[in-house]
Amino acid sequence: MANTALSDMGRYLKEMVNLLEDGQRELAVEVETGSLSRSSCPGPLQGDGQNVANICHLVQELMCEDTEDGDKQSHNRLQSVGQNGHMALLGHCLTAYLSMLNKDGFRKLTTRILSDTTLWLCRLFRYENSSAFFHEDDREGLVRVCRLVLHTLYEDYASEGYAAFSSAQPIIYQSTSSREGLGQHVCNQLGLALSSLCTVPCNTVFGSQHQMDVALLEKLIKEDLDAGKLPLLLIANAGNSSVDRAYRLGRLKELCVKYSMWLHVEGVSLATLALDDMSSSVKRAVHCDSMTLTLGPWLGLPAVPAVTLYRHEDPALSLAAGLTASQPGEKLRPLALWLSLQLLGNEGIVQKIRHATDLSKQLMERLKTVPSIITSVENDVSSPEVLFRFSQETSSGAYNDLLEGCSTEDRDIMDTFNRWLGERLARLVPVGGVDVVELEDDGTCVRFNPLMTAAGLGTQASDVEVLVEKLLELVPVLSSTLRLREEFRREVQRHSPFLSLMEDLAWPGLGTLRYNPQWFADVLEDKQLQEVEKMNCELMKKLQEQETSILFSSGPEYGTARDRIFVGMATEDLVNEDISHLVNTVAALGREIEEKGKLFENMAEVVQRGILEAQLQLQKDSEKRILEEGVLRQLPVVSSVLNWFSPWEASVNGRTFNLTDGLLDSTEPTYSSKDQTSALHLPDTPTTLSSRLQGRKLFLHSEDAGTVTNPGRDSADTAADEAGVSSMPAAALNTNPFSPSSPGPPSVDADQRPEPHAGPVVRQDDSLTSREGRLDPTAR
């Protein structure tokens, strides 16, 4: 019956995983098309429950949930569950099932699982005669080992706790290249003060810049001993998650033996202990006191625990330190790994690790042929991790000499470009698994670590070739942009004060600029700042409408500056003349927008002034008309009788406002002739710079000389561009839109018409009239 139950569990698990994967692909299509509608808000628990299909559908929706930045491609990075993954998932299901066994059966089963897994790992990674501790957090093994050392060196630690450290303060040593926050986490979990953590710098004069300075370490140990402190433990790295560096573990082990310290080693390079051709520096790790292995990423096994192998002869102290499992759930923790190791076998495990190292070797060899790409001096053919970065300099000089010869600003720019390079490669080749890493000495680098990503993403040799091809496409873009940045800076400064160069070293592109109107000053009010921001936003939209090979944006989404324009990367075929033309175009479009704003502001001001003047004149005419009609026509009853016997014929008395010259005239000629004799015709829309550039690339190269040409431009326009002034129509540049020489829109009339008298009070109907009709001045 047990066999039937286990078979049913495995079959049911496989069906559930297939259902989730199929539904994930369907929902991915719905996310792309935008047809998926759902609510992320939690709802109440249903009283009658839900079936399995509905629950799986909910999980699928959560798996395809868009990220905060709106990246709809995030679901594509989800790893598919293969045969090995199914076995690991089955192990988690069996953990809950086997916990229902009786005590004797449960004890026999967990003892066998723990013994087998420990034996297999010790032989596989050549770490004989050791014990194993399985933990979910990869830092927990180091914490338990430190507690074990405290119990060993402080006999009263179990009874007195922190008071036992009064005789001698324990000191933990780590390197500056260790994982960020690792030492602080250990101190927090053990209740130690941060003064118990000593960070040892790396080599600065000779040797590797990412290896612990052994001479300085010994000096610090002697100083701590003289101060009455107790050296406790040394954390060494054989290639950690930040940077792959193998320490001189032999020398570190000698220091630990000399001063009775515990040596703990961790890092991705420990995976190569399973290979026959491991490097000599990693091979010395088998002599350390403990090591932590993260088999899940190395073998592509989901949710399997990390393993800490350690050597200690006192099982009682191991139990006191928490290295021996006591709870049923902890005893079954290695079950998933036990099942997966049996499925893979010894050859399968070695093959996965060798495949990852072969990918690193392949990329390292291919990078040697890519121009302007340099690798760290620490990379060698045996390293499972590759670090590279873009540099305008060739690889003829030493890597560190290149870094020392750069200024702080140049290094910041190079870090920005390399960050853009890593992000673009990760987006273009997601199966490659590259990411960006920040190093203290090298700056920003692109990291390829197949030991941590290849098994889960399924990276193959062909993917490495695609990665190199994309890198060959992006390097010329970086080189061209870096070459033209200085030319862009000079051109923007040449257009000062209309254009200002805004320094932003974190922007990967030609640079950032801002258009300044004529009234721009160093100190502006909030309203003026909003006007500048609005003007630059409109300018950016106009630039985005042009068909160009350069992208314009308002900067990163998390940025707060909206009063500038961010100019993107330049293509490799651009030359200095293109940059000059680009900046001239930006300045011309900015002036065009500013002049249009002045036109509308002046027109609104003149119209408002004309309306007020027309209202005053109409009011005076109304008062004059009342005097002409007499007092009797203003009385309620008398006016009706008087108007019956002697009707009063009132003439239409209004005003017409000419937008061309800004003058007010009487409407009497208009109503006497029943027509507007001076018919005005709207002029044709002037050909502006934007209309001439619409649907046309800004930069077109001639095949013969490679010079920049713009079809449709005459020699005068070209000369104007070379002088830094863009050719614009006279009508668009005229600051006085109401001059007689410039054509204008039709005139607007203001007339006054009498209503039939219902009493002695005469009501005036004031209105502005045009050729098409009447407009109420109050509505304006």
Rounded Cα gap, residues 680 and 659, in angstroms: 11
Query: What pLDDT score does 751 carry?
Result: 43
Beta carbons of 124 and 116 less than 8 angstroms apart: no
Residue 766 lies in a domain: yes
Query: What pLDDT score does 3 carry?
Result: 60
Beta carbons of 142 and 235 less than 8 angstroms apart: yes
Cα→Cα distances 147→158, 287, 289, 314, Å: 10, 21, 14, 14
As a whole number, mean pLDDT of residues 663-675 equals 69
Beta carbons of 505 and 413 less than 8 angstroms apart: yes
Query: What pLDDT score does 603 carry?
Result: 67
As a whole number, mean pLDDT of residues 493-516 equals 86
Residue 616 lies in a domain: no
| The token pair that represents 152 in the structure block | 């060993």
More confident residue, 579 or 721: 579
- 416 and 340 share one domain: no
More confident residue, 209 or 98: 98
Rounded Cα gap, residues 679 and 675, in angstroms: 9
Out of 422, 454, 478, pick the residue that ends a domain. 478
Query: What pLDDT score does 39 carry?
Result: 52
- 61 and 119 share one domain: no
Rounded Cα gap, residues 251 and 287, in angstroms: 11
- 188 and 337 share one domain: yes
Give the percent of the chain with pLDDT over 90. Answer: 30
Pairing of strands 511-515, 499-502: antiparallel
Query: What pLDDT score does 193 carry?
Result: 92
Beta carbons of 567 and 477 less than 8 angstroms apart: no
* Closest to 510 in 3D by CA, of 533, 543, 472, 538: 543
Out of 457, 478, 499, pick the residue that ends a domain. 478
- Mean predicted lDDT score pLDDT of the chain: 75
* Closest to 14 in 3D by CA, of 114, 126, 91, 90: 90
Rounded Cα gap, residues 740 and 626, in angstroms: 38
Beta carbons of 267 and 238 less than 8 angstroms apart: yes
As a whole number, mean pLDDT of residues 372-379 equals 73
Whose structure tokens read 């002869």?
A: 313
- 341 and 427 share one domain: no
E-strand stretches of 505-583: 511-515, 552-553, 565-567
- 729 and 684 share one domain: yes
| The token pair that represents 758 in the structure block | 């219902």
Rounded Cα gap, residues 261 and 229, in angstroms: 13
Q: Which of 158-167, 208-217, 253-262, 638-647 tops mean pLDDT?
A: 253-262
Query: What pLDDT score does 261 carry?
Result: 95
* Closest to 550 in 3D by CA, of 576, 574, 568: 568
**Looking at 280-284, 380-384, 538-542, 564-568, which range is the least confident one?**
380-384
3-state secondary structure of 91: helix
- 335 and 395 share one domain: no
- 109 and 73 share one domain: no
- 249 and 341 share one domain: yes
- 418 and 450 share one domain: yes
Q: Which of 76-80, 149-153, 538-542, 660-664 tops mean pLDDT?
A: 149-153
Residue 363 lies in a domain: no
Tell me the per-residue pLDDT of 517-562, one tens digit each, with 9 for 90 and over: 877 666 566 777 778 888 888 888 888 888 777 888 877 765 556 6
Is the pLDDT reported for residue 695 higher than 50?
no
Query: What pLDDT score does 19 carry?
Result: 65
Rounded Cα gap, residues 540 and 589, in angstroms: 10
Rounded Cα gap, residues 131 and 123, in angstroms: 12
Is the pLDDT reported for residue 430 higher than 50?
yes
Query: What pLDDT score does 81 carry?
Result: 60
Indicate the Cα dihedral angle 459, 460, 462, 465, nearest 10°: 60
Is the pLDDT reported for residue 268 higher than 60?
yes
Query: What pLDDT score does 5 carry?
Result: 64
Residue 14 lies in a domain: yes
As a whole number, mean pLDDT of residues 228-234 equals 95
Question: What is the domain extent for residue 189?
Answer: 102-346
Q: What residues contact residue 504 under an 8 Å CB cut-off, 6+ apart?
A: 511, 512, 555, 561, 564, 566
Residue 222 lies in a domain: yes
**Looking at 149-153, 205-209, 230-234, 339-343, which range is the least confident one?**
205-209
More confident residue, 357 or 630: 357
Whose structure tokens read 């050859």?
A: 347
What is the reported pTM? Answer: 0.70
Rounded Cα gap, residues 321 and 260, in angstroms: 19
Domain of 395: which CATH number?
A: 3.90.1150
3-state secondary structure of 555: coil
Tell me the per-residue pLDDT of 436-477, one tens digit each, with 9 for 90 and over: 988 877 789 999 999 999 988 989 999 999 999 999 999 999
More confident residue, 275 or 28: 275
Is the pLDDT reported for residue 270 higher than 70?
yes
Helical pair 461-494 and 335-367, crossing angle rounded to 10 deg: 60
Is the pLDDT reported for residue 225 higher than 90?
yes
| The token pair that represents 744 in the structure block | 């204008």
Q: Which of 118-132, 243-257, 631-645, 759-773 tops mean pLDDT?
A: 118-132
- 153 and 70 share one domain: no
Query: What pLDDT score does 423 carry?
Result: 94
Whose structure tokens read 């798996």?
A: 63
Out of 478, 495, 515, pick the residue that ends a domain. 478
Phi–psi pair at 432, nearest 5 degrees: -70, -30
> Using 50, 70 and 90 to split pLDDT, how confident is the model at 31?
low
**Looking at 32-36, 154-158, 521-525, 730-734, which range is the least confident one?**
730-734
SS3 string, 362-431, reads HHHHHHCCCCCEEECCCCCCCCCCEEEEECCCCCCCCHHHHHHCCCHHHHHHHHHHHHHHHHHHHHHCHH
Is the pLDDT reported for residue 114 higher than 50?
yes
Number of Cα atoms under 13 Å in the Cβ half of residue 467: 30
Query: What pLDDT score does 431 carry?
Result: 93
Beta carbons of 202 and 176 less than 8 angstroms apart: yes
Query: What pLDDT score does 208 carry?
Result: 52
Q: What residues contact residue 701 under an 8 Å CB cut-off, 6+ apart?
A: 573, 707, 708, 709
Query: What pLDDT score does 775 carry?
Result: 36
| The token pair that represents 698 in the structure block | 């800004």
Rounded Cα gap, residues 273 and 290, in angstroms: 14
As a whole number, mean pLDDT of residues 707-719 equals 41
Q: For the chain, how many structural domains are there in total?
A: 4
More confident residue, 617 or 467: 467
Query: What pLDDT score does 242 carry?
Result: 43
- 683 and 729 share one domain: yes
- 270 and 405 share one domain: no
Rounded Cα gap, residues 691 and 696, in angstroms: 10
More confident residue, 750 or 94: 94
Rounded Cα gap, residues 687 and 691, in angstroms: 6
Query: What pLDDT score does 12 carry?
Result: 65
Is the pLDDT reported for residue 147 higher than 90?
yes
Task: Assign 3-state DSSP to the chain and report helix, strand, coil percentages, each to 5.
Answer: 50, 15, 35
Query: What pLDDT score does 55 carry?
Result: 75
499, β-bridge pairs:
515
Q: What residues contact residue 462 under an 8 Å CB cut-off, 6+ apart?
A: none
**Looking at 113-117, 362-366, 699-703, which range is the least confident one?**
699-703
Give the percent of the chain with pLDDT over 70. Answer: 67
Is the pLDDT reported for residue 58 higher than 90?
no
> Using 50, 70 and 90 to split pLDDT, how confident is the model at 404?
low
Domain of 114: which CATH number?
A: 3.40.640.10
293, β-bridge pairs:
307
What's the DSSP call for residue 333? T
Pairing of strands 386-390, 306-310: unpaired
Residue 458 lies in a domain: yes
Residue 532 lies in a domain: no
Residue 519 lies in a domain: no
As a whole number, mean pLDDT of residues 647-672 equals 68
Query: What pLDDT score does 538 carry?
Result: 86
Helical pair 182-190 and 140-153, crossing angle rounded to 10 deg: 50
* Closest to 213 in 3D by CA, of 267, 251, 171: 251
Query: What pLDDT score does 421 carry?
Result: 95
* Closest to 574 in 3D by CA, of 650, 482, 442, 660: 482
Rounded Cα gap, residues 170 and 190, in angstroms: 11
Indicate the Cα dihedral angle 298, 299, 304, 310, nearest 10°: -60
Rounded Cα gap, residues 263 and 234, in angstroms: 5
Rounded Cα gap, residues 767 and 746, in angstroms: 16
**Looking at 171-175, 485-489, 491-495, 665-669, which range is the least confident one?**
665-669
Beta carbons of 222 and 197 less than 8 angstroms apart: no
